[in-house]
Amino acid sequence: MSDKLKIGISIGDINGIGLEVIIKTLIDSRVLEYFTPVVYGSTKVASFHRKALGINDFSFNVINEAQQAHPKRANMINCWQEDVKITLGEENEIGGKYAFLSLKRAVDDLVKGEIDALVTAPINKHNIQREEFGFPGHTEYLQARTESSDALMFMISEELRVGVVTGHIPVRDIAANISTEAIVSKLALMDASLKRDFWIRKPKIAVLGLNPHAGDNGLIGTEDEEIITPAIEQAKSRGVFCFGPYPADGFFASETYKKFDAVLAMYHDQGLIPFKHIAARSGVNFTAGLPVVRTSPDHGTGYDIAGKNVASEMSFSEALFAAVHIVARRREQDVLLSNPLAARRLSRDRD
């Protein structure tokens, strides 16, 4: 039996670019030296995408369960048998239905430990909605399936790491969902993830303000003084090395982010717009705070370019290797922590 990690992959919306970036990544057989991919989808759907891309020298090894995965092949589990009408570039109910079937089967195996991590291709948050998926996105679904009390949307790249207090909610609801308790919880998750998943011994975290100029001493809103500053002080008292609140515009424009290991933004666009600009096409979405490892590319379904063979696989490839590295770090740290002498050596090496 191979000791390589099994990385599960959900295919996302079948009318988008998910299978394109999956195939473009896995067609390079060198990736199989580092992990064994298990794709949850349909060989018929994959064949449609492969032909649309003009790729003739690639195929999946069909298996029934993750334990049967061939360590030197790209494996696929057929999550349905029926023929599916694919309309590339179109948002419809069919795309959402099969995106969910892929995701559900993959998460089932993830929580059972049949795979070591999960990388999710992009879904459409509207058409995937159904009785079993009443969530704003992957992050909230994984949090519920793993029965975790909280989770952090953590965007990671070589240049920058950004987490958000509020995720996929309307802008009009942001202020009402910012609380001292929520900020402290996200800071604790971020601090723990930086230590366990990225091996940063004493992470330094920047916290952004909510209002322009971080409230300008209360002239432009009071949340920064009354909610965010107390949260920072409370987190510090619990051992989190955090600072702020910083005005978001000047913080990124002056490249102050380079002085920190991670940044906690108050809302989605405040953090993700600068992140995607700085990380270019190599960013990864990591769900921190879960007992399992899940990553995804930092882009959407790409309906406008689906089937045109122009989608870049860079972010998806980065997501795969990020999952491999995070699982490996967690396991190595667990082994070290079970050996006090080795743990002391690790601590000295990090100093």
| β pairing state of 117-120 and 294-297 | parallel
Q: How far apart are CA 98 and CA 31, in angstroms?
A: 27
Q: How far apart are CA 218 and CA 228, in angstroms?
A: 12
User: What is the pLDDT averaged over residues 28-34?
Assistant: 94
pLDDT in tens, 170-203: 999 999 999 999 999 999 999 999 999 999 999 9
In this prediction, residue 280 has a pLDDT band, given cuts at 50, 70 and 90, of: confident
| β pairing state of 35-41 and 75-78 | parallel
Q: What is the DSSP string of 167-231?
A: -SS-GGGTGGG--HHHHHHHHHHHHHHHHHTT--SS--EEEE-SSGGGGTTTTT-SHIIIIIHHH
In this prediction, residue 349 has a pLDDT band, given cuts at 50, 70 and 90, of: low
User: What is the pLDDT averaged over residues 213-217?
Assistant: 87
Is residue 3 pLDDT above 90, yes or no? Answer: no
Q: How far apart are CA 157 and CA 155, in angstroms?
A: 7
Residue 159 near residue 59 (C-beta atoms within 8 A): no
pLDDT in tens, 41-66: 999 999 999 999 999 889 999 999 99
Domain boundaries, the chain: 1-148
pLDDT of residue 217: 86
Lowest mean pLDDT among 65-74, 117-126, 337-346: 337-346
pLDDT in tens, 97-136: 999 999 999 999 999 999 999 999 999 999 999 999 999 9
Q: How far apart are CA 5 and CA 285, in angstroms?
A: 20
pLDDT of residue 335: 83
Is residue 348 pLDDT above 60, yes or no? Answer: no
pLDDT of residue 121: 98
Helix, strand, coil share of the chain (percent; to 5) = 45, 15, 40
pLDDT in tens, 131-179: 999 999 999 999 999 999 999 999 999 999 999 999 989 999 999 999 9
Percentage of the residues of the chain whose pLDDT score is greater than 70 = 96
Please give the radius of gyration of the chain, using alpha carbons only, rounded to the nearest integer. Answer: 21
Instruction: Decide yes or no: CATH 3.40.190.10 for domain 1-148.
Output: no
Q: How far apart are CA 126 and CA 168, in angstroms?
A: 12
Q: Among 334, 282, 332, 315, which Cα is nearest to 158's?
A: 282
Whole-prediction pTM:
0.92
CB atoms within 10 A of CB 81: 8
Q: How far apart are CA 88 and CA 61, in angstroms?
A: 24
In this prediction, residue 336 has a pLDDT band, given cuts at 50, 70 and 90, of: confident
pLDDT of residue 339: 72
pLDDT in tens, 243-264: 999 999 999 999 999 999 999 9
User: What is the pLDDT averaged over residues 217-230?
Assistant: 93
Count Cβ neighbours within 10 Å for each residue of 246-269 and write b for 16 or more, e otherwise: bbbeebbeeeebeebbbbbbbbbe
Residue 285 near residue 295 (C-beta atoms within 8 A): yes
pLDDT of residue 1: 47
